[in-house]
Amino acid sequence: MRTEVGIIGAGPAGLLLARLLHRAGVSCVVLESRDRAYTEQRQRAGMLEQGTVDVLRAAGAGERLNREALEHDGIELRFDRRSHRLDFPALTGGRSVWIYAQTEIVKDLIGLQLKDGPPLVFGAEAVAVTGLDGRLPQVHYRDSAGEHTLTCDYIAGCDGHHGITGSALPASVARTFERTYPYAWLGVLADAPPSCEVLVYAHSPRGFALHSMRSPTVSRLYLQVPADTDVSAWPDDRIWDELDARFAVDGDWSLTRGPITSKSVLPMRSSVTEPMRHGRLLLAGDAAHIVPPTGAKGLNLAVADVVVLAEALADWKDSGSTALLDAYSDTCLRRVWRAEHFSHFMTTTLHTDPGQSPFDSRLQLAQLDRVTTSRHAAAELADNYAGLPISRQGPDH
C-alpha cells in the first residue's frame, strides 16, 4: 500500500489522528496488531480535560460522549479525616472535566473510521520501520495473509510504550528520562453506584486511595499497594475494608459496596523520550511519554500530541512547508514536561513512601493544607488538572 501517513496503533492517539487527517484531506492508513474486540476492550484512563472533550466534539466523535459522559465541576481532596472540594469552574474561568471511559472513545472512533474514514487494518503487526531518513519510509507488517509493506511520506508512532516505534529512534539521537515509584495501584471495577459526585483523592497514613466512576452504576476505585503486589492477596472484603479506612472522614459519609468485577495492578512510572521525532518518524502519546495516573494526564497528553501533529501534517500537505513538523517535538515537549511535573506533584503529595519519615508526612499535610486554604494554590492545581490550552504554539502560561 501507499499512503501519505502510516499510523501504527489504533488506540485513542492513532484513531483520533486518523480522524483529524481524514477531515483535513491527508491520506493515511492505521495498522493495529490486535483484533477489533481486544482493541475496544483495553481498559485505560477515563478522565477527560475540557480541551480533549472539545477536540472530540469538533472531530465528530461527540454524539455518544454528549449523551453518556459525566461532567464534573471539580475534585475532592481528603486528608487528616477532613474533606475539601475544589470548584474547577470557579478557579479556572469555567472549565470542567469529564468522565468517559477510553474504551468508549475507541469504540466511537473505530465506528466513525469504519463508516467513512481511511483504512483501518486489524491484526496487522508492525515488525519494522525503515527509511526514516529518506523520502519514503516504510512500515513492514504481517497479518494472517503474510508479510506486507506500507510506503508513506511520514510514520506516526502511536503504538504505546511497548511498541516498535519508540525503540526505532537511534540511541545516538534519543534520550529517555525515567522515574519509577516504589508503589503501584490496585484498580478495581465494581457494580456499585458511586459514593460521591466527583473524584475523591485521599491521603492517608495507610496509603493513597482514589474514588472514580465509569457510569451512574459502576465505580472505579484504586488503592496504593506495594509495587510487587499479587492481586490474589486482595480478596473483595479486604479491598472494601481498606477503602473504607482510607476514605474515612469525620461525618456521616459512607462507601457504597458492590460486586467487584475486575482487579488489576497498575505500575507507577514517569518517562519522557526526547526528541519525539527522528526523520520521517513522529511519536505521539505513550510511545513518547508515560505519566503516573494520579494527575489523569495520559490520554489527554496523547490527544494534545495528535492535535499538534495533525495541524503540522495538514500544513505540510497544503503548503509543502515542514516548519510545523520541524517544531513538533519542541512544541509537544513543553506541554509534556508541564504534565509530568503536575503528575509528579500529585503523586508524591498524596502517596506514602515505604519507610516514610514523620517529617515527610507533615510536609505532605502542609502542602495539602496550602492547596485547600489558598485560592492561588487551589487555582494552580485546578488549572493543571482541568488542562492547559491545546495549541501548536504550546502552553502560553
pLDDT tens digit string along 282-321? Answer: 999 999 999 999 999 999 999 999 999 999 999 999 999 9
Mean per-residue pLDDT of the chain: 94
Give the number of other CB atoms < 10 A from CB of residue 230.
9
Task: Kindly indicate the confidence band of residue 394, based on its pLDDT and cuts at 50, 70 and 90.
Answer: very low
Residue 385 appears among annotated catalytic residues: yes
49 in a structural domain: yes
d(CA 348, CA 360): 10
Q: Which of 72, 203, 211, 278 is catalytic?
A: 72
293 is catalytic: yes
Phi then psi for residue 133, to 5 deg, are: -95, 0
Tell me, what's the pLDDT at 395? Answer: 40
- Residue 375, pLDDT above cutoff 90: yes
Asked if 38 is an active-site residue, the reply is no
Whether 11 shows a pLDDT value over 70: the answer reads yes
For the residues 109-126, what does the mean pLDDT come to?
94
pLDDT band of residue 397 (cuts 50, 70, 90) is very low
Q: Which of 107, 183, 293, 328 is catalytic?
A: 293
Residue 130 has pLDDT above 50, yes or no: yes
pLDDT recorded at residue 41: 87
Identify whether 184 is part of a domain.
no
Whether the Cβ atoms of residue 190 and residue 258 lie closer than 8 Å to each other:
yes
**pTM score:** 0.93
For residue 80, tell me if it sits in a domain. no
Residue 118 in domain:
yes
Of all helices (H) and strands (E), which one includes residue 146? Answer: strand 146-151
Q: For residue 195, give the nearest of 236, 256, 249 by alpha carbon.
A: 256
Output the nine-digit C-alpha cell for 284.
505521539
Tell me which residue range forms the domain holding 18: 5-72+98-178+269-353
183 within domain boundaries: no
Residues 213-268 have pLDDT tens digits of 988 999 999 999 999 999 999 999 999 999 999 999 998 899 999 999 999 999 99
Question: Which uninterrupted H or E stretch holds 88?
Answer: helix 88-92
Query: How much of the chain, in percent, has pLDDT values that exceed 70?
Result: 97
Give the Cα separation of 176 and 272 in Å (integer). Answer: 6
* Residue 138 maps to a domain: yes
* pLDDT number for residue 389: 81
Residue 394 counted as domain residue: no
Catalytic residue among 107, 203, 289, 297: 297
pLDDT at 43: 67
Percent of the chain with pLDDT over 90: 90
Residue 107 φ/ψ, nearest 5 degrees: -60, -45
110, pLDDT greater than 60: yes
Q: What confidence category does residue 392 fall into, taking pLDDT thresholds of 50, 70 and 90?
A: low
Beta bridge partners of residue 175, listed in sequence order: 274
Q: How many domains does the chain have?
A: 1
At 70, the amino acid letter reads L
Find the catalytic residue in 100, 154, 181, 201. Answer: 201
Q: Count CA atoms closer than 13 A to 201's CA, side-chain side.
A: 21
**119 in catalytic set:** no
- With a cut of 90, say whether residue 269 has pLDDT above it: yes
Interval 134-180: pLDDT, tens: 999 999 999 999 999 999 999 999 999 999 999 999 989 999 999 99
d(CA 305, CA 299): 10
Q: Is 289 a catalytic residue?
A: no
Local confidence band at 396 (pLDDT 50, 70, 90 cut-offs): very low
CATH classification at residue 40 = 3.50.50.60
